[in-house]
Amino acid sequence: MSFLSVAREAALIGREVHLRYLTGGFHISTKSGIRDRVTTADIEAEKAIVTFIREAFPTHNILAEEHSYEPTSSPYTWIIDPLDGTNNFSRGFPFFACSVALKEGDEVIVGAVCDSVRGEIFTAERGEGAFLNEEPIHVSEVSDLATSLLVTGFYQTQTEEVVRNLEVLRRLFRRGILGIRRTGAAALDLCYVACGRVDGFWEPILNPWDFAAGALIVQEAGGMCTTYEAEPLPFETSPILATNGRLHPVLSEVIREALS
């Protein structure tokens, strides 16, 4: 199987686990605090995905949200968020996904994100474009902030970052926009930028497993994915700004001014 085929199948395996537990029977525990949750579905999806990937590529590295894995000498690393939108899932809010990406050296080369509720699967391979259910997708052509639909995120345990992000929202509303959404699943937010359902997304704190696949999908769909300063996105916990490209300068400016 190709790298992309494995990523796609792994994301679908994650979806199968999500749907198995969606109607109940899962346990909820906490990690860093009461609002930082992990469910049986997170853990079991990661186990199933890692098992599948290791059957295909036993020497590859694994970077995943719920567990640490022994490093190997391989230049390849699979980056896995077994359940993006855990809080949504735990309450039956139908917006959550599985995200799988592959990095060669310092560069993400394939990505797949599966919307577990809708069954939509977004994929990309570097240099080959982005796809939704195997049909090509492209970012929107919206260039006026006044007609833009945006989406943001904030990590509920980082109170100060939430307060700072509210200043960004205030400034955007004062300038005039079509609307802002907060969905609780960053991987899908990025994919929605990629297919033109929204025009831009930003979030103060994301981990690599949150954005690795989605960022590639945005870029391959013709968009931009950077830091708030419009610098290349580092492969570490980072603020993120993803847009259709046309709105990137103005959104970067608004965010930086709000946070200065």
Instruction: Tell me the binding residues for Mg(2+).
Output: 65, 81, 83-84, 210
Judged by phi (left if over 0) then psi (alpha if -120 to 50, else beta), residue 119 lies in: left
Q: Are 198 and 189 within 8 A, CB to CB?
A: yes
Residues making up the binding site: 65, 81, 83-84, 210
> What residue ranges in the chain does DSSP mark as E strands?
28-30, 37-39, 61-64, 76-84, 97-104, 107-115, 121-125, 130-132, 135-136, 149-152, 179-181, 200-206, 224-226, 238-243
Local structure of 226: helix, strand or coil = strand
